[in-house]
Structure 1
Amino acid sequence: DFMEIPPKKYFRLFPGNEVRLRGAYFITCQEVIKDADGHVIELKCTYDPATKSGAGCERKVKGTIHWVDASHASEVELHLYDYLVEDDSGLTKDNFLERINPKSLEIVKAYIEPELLKAQPYQKFQFIRNGFFSVDPKYSTPEAPVFNQIVSLKSSWKPTN
């Protein structure tokens, strides 16, 4: 939800931009802190205490973001699924294996609130803006949780790169 140099129509957090933190306040990114290799390691932001959850606030912002506190977050593995078989136009039945989508399973790392470490196999959750996920009964452990995507959400965000 942060880009140092955003494209047009990017309504999330970037230097000088104001967004709403879901369930909290409007914040504005004031400074970007980087490590010796140039990687962003910290954002210094200010918040407006009069904007708690947007209640009674006349000012509007275009972006609402959510976040997980890095000092308390737990790393998990997400299994993201796509179509198993790619479009079959122009292909014959003889080359079915050539139609297998190599990106039908994407395994990514994510960060969650520590409370989700207590989740039981098959328990379901919505991960905001990403979809619905279920705890994997075979590969998930309390020390290394694995969540399988069961329903994705459509996104209107289209990167320009």
Structure 2
Amino acid sequence: MSPLVETVMNAQTVNFTPEQITALFIDAAREGDTDLLTQFLDAGMAIDTPDSRGYTALIVSTYNGHMEAARLLLQRNANTEATDLKGATALSGVAFKGLTDIAKILIDHGAQVDHANFSGRTPLMFAIMFGREDMARLLLNAGANPDHRDVDGVSARDLAERQNLTGLFTERTGA
């Protein structure tokens, strides 16, 4: 165990607040530091502990493109459906960024492709809004619903039409 983790997790020696410990854990995820993440988890850190914005280690590591950290967290049973304070999951973040390799492992570990945030937006909507065509194809092939509507009544199909990406839907169906 690293001296930092040993010090942080030993509450009798140092008076770190739970918020400070969580911040260090989330920072390790943000940096993709699998050794430090492992040490935190082995020392008893709850894997889905959120920071003040609701971000979990899985949300932060995937959003920052850290495949190995994501694999570690998923192997340790991180919740793919944990949400931040806006209701977004890890899959929402990687859909927005177009990180298809990480999206694949999230989906393989049970991430729901149609999980909507508090505005009703799904990962497919984020992929289309930000022109992430490969991500949109991946989500559609994984069963994402292009007709789900957000709180404004807009669907992924509507968004695709606005951006001249309607071919995404005919490619999938072969029509």
Scaled by the length of structure 2, the TM-score of the pair is: 0.25
Which one scores higher on RCO, CA 8 angstroms, separation ≥ 6? 1
Scaled by the length of structure 1, the TM-score of the pair is: 0.27
More strand by share: 1
Whichever of the two has the greater Rg, that structure is 1
